[in-house]
Amino acid sequence: MLFGIVAWIIHEAWERFSEPQPILAGPMLLVAIAGLLINCLVLWIMTRGETGHVNVKGAILHVMGDLLGSVGAIIAAVVVYYTGWTPIDPILSVLVSALILRSAWKLLAKSMHIFLEGAPDGVSPELVHRHGQAYDGHVH
């Protein structure tokens, strides 16, 4: 899902580069600040419990992406308000997307490792194999 969101954001950023649209910096700033506050609250709530599970990490990563998007929108709104330079919006969108993509890639790699039943972090496959043999009573 995160990869799809990143692709969509990059596509939209390209569209805004190709055909710049007027930006209402004031309303943009207010909505971005509201989004930032809500995402901070959601992130705080989500990190109060178990955070080691890959599904929880994915949800936290999604909220972090939204939070970074809000920060990017705040910066863009301030720049547009004071300078009128609208390309900052798609530029920051692509930058935030790159950060989300990096984290999503790491999460995908960890998920695939779990899915393919890889050895847990810090444990060698040989140790897992020996332990499995001892558990089955077939130690050689």
Assigned token pair, 84:
């009128």
Residues 6+ apart with CB under 8 A from 132: none
* Domain regions of the chain by residue span: 2-136
pLDDT tens sequence for the chain (140 residues) = 878 888 999 999 999 989 988 899 999 999 999 999 999 999 999 888 877 777 788 888 888 888 988 999 999 999 999 999 999 999 999 998 898 888 888 888 888 887 887 766 777 777 767 776 665 555 45
107-115 LR contacts (CB < 8 Å, sep 24+): 107/2, 107/54, 107/57, 107/58, 107/61, 108/3, 110/54, 110/57, 111/54, 111/58, 114/54
Residue 134 neighbours by CB distance under 10 Å: 10
Specify whether the CB–CB gap between 132 and 51 falls below 8 A.
no
Specify whether the CB–CB gap between 76 and 92 falls below 8 A.
yes
Residues 6+ apart with CB under 8 A from 28: 73, 76, 77, 80
